[in-house]
Amino acid sequence: MYLPKPLPPQFTVARWVFSRALAVVFFCAFASLLPQVRGLMGAHGIAPAGQFLERAEAQLGAGARWVVPTLCWFGAGDGMLTALCVAGIVISLVMVAGVAPGGCSLALWALYLSLVSVGSPFLDFQWDGLLLETAVLAALALPWRLRPEWEESSPVPRFGRWLLWWLLFRLMFESGVVKLASGDPTWRGLTALDFHFATQPLPLWPAWFAHQAPRWMLRGATFIMFAFELVVPWLIFAPRRWRHAGAWALVALQVIIVVTGNYAFFNLLTIALCALLFDDAAWPRRWRECVVPSVHWPVPPRPRLALAGAIAACVIALLSLPPLLKDAARLAGLDLPVEWANPLAPLRSFNGYGLFAVMTTQRLEIIVEGSNDGVVWQEYEFHWKPGDVRAGPGLVAPHQPRLDWQMWFAALGMWDRNPWFQSFLGRLLEGQPEVLGLLKTNPFPTHPPRYVRSMLYEYQFTRWGEGGAWWKRELKGRYGPEIALAPAAGPQRETQ
């Protein structure tokens, strides 16, 4: 009796779900950036994109257009920056509707790259690079037809899906490796979560309760986190039941992170990548009936197309290897020359990953103040970063307040190492409405202050029974000097 050869597992529903999830992530990214882009990098923003491109061209000449790949070379004013965001929102909605998802993914990649290339330091986060890399690989994995057929009908989508699996593996595994490779004692001693919930950039209110947990429980949670990041990723390449179990474990980790912290669209994007690990049989029957064709046709042999896809997959995999090999060598105590030239580095689409390689054990916050007489000072309040000790941490993700985030990093460094922060204070002295729009309150609504200064505080979560405030703080000193706006000369130091 002849029995037909069984078809390999199909991922039709997974591609359909991933496509729409990726489109939603892009929508969140562009919609989040739209109300901020003029204040961050507009003509009167903190770090104007036009000035950045002028400096790049002066230093690099014609090569600047490759080193800084962006559509802003055609114009870097407020209109162009806004148009890029609006175009991204529109195309992401088209992709949600299921129209030409492969082409939409590549178009969204080009638009977002244009903003990331000129958005430093406000678009230098790991999830910005992750979104770009995901979009490039999605262009291989998703169909390009206006009315797509979601079943993998050629070898190329299969290679794209494997590369997205490889991306998810690197994202999770590197996150565990860098923590151990850094030699940070809090990670190796399993004490990192004693600090994490209170010192992460923008905690969510449940983080206050997590911070109150017994220390033995936090150490146990740290150990489990290492299991999720170092062991579970290997299940991505295991048989289907193990692969599905690994996917659910990774999704659970992302949900825990979502509950306690605001990490923009990072967690949603990671969950979208996890969706690709589930074959058709794992999805609800109703979904399969809507997406999966009634008759499966085997992928026709196309040797040349398969060879081209294999070569492209190998090149992309090789470009992503150096960060992983470097961290693995450090973890093993070796100093291997694993760096090699990446000719596609300007595309920011082949990256290394790993958040919180070194745990921050002290929460320092910069409080910006203004004054008209140098005696009475009034605080500027930010929307989301800690300021008022009575204000509880709120939910902001998947929106990312880029200035609030960057203020956390600035507090870890020095005044003279953050020129963007000096520019920010200068915009406050000028009373630029685009920059003031990034803040929650402006204590000088009628005219800008004569002086501004930045004070450094240490913030800590309160404990049970310490009153109604969420935070307590202690003044550590000045972060930078008092400055005033000199006539036609920009921000100028007044006192040390």
Q: What are the sequence ranges of the domains in the chain?
A: 12-288+303-347, 363-495
Q: Say if CB 26 and CB 115 are below 8 A apart.
A: no
Crossing angle of helices 240-260 and 266-275, in 10° steps, is 170
State the average pLDDT over residues 414-428. Answer: 94
- Residues near 150 by Cβ (< 8 Å), separated by ≥ 6? 12, 13, 15, 16, 143, 291, 292
- Cα separation, 144 vs 141, in Å, equals 10
The 10s digit of each residue's pLDDT in 289-300 is 778 765 555 666
State the average pLDDT over residues 296-318. Answer: 71
pLDDT at residue number 3: 43
Tell whether the model's pLDDT for residue 1 goes beyond 50.
no
Tell whether the model's pLDDT for residue 5 goes beyond 50.
no
Which of 183 and 493 is assigned the larger pLDDT?
Answer: 183
Tell whether the model's pLDDT for residue 26 goes beyond 50.
yes
Helices vs. strands in the chain: H and E counts, helices first: 20, 6
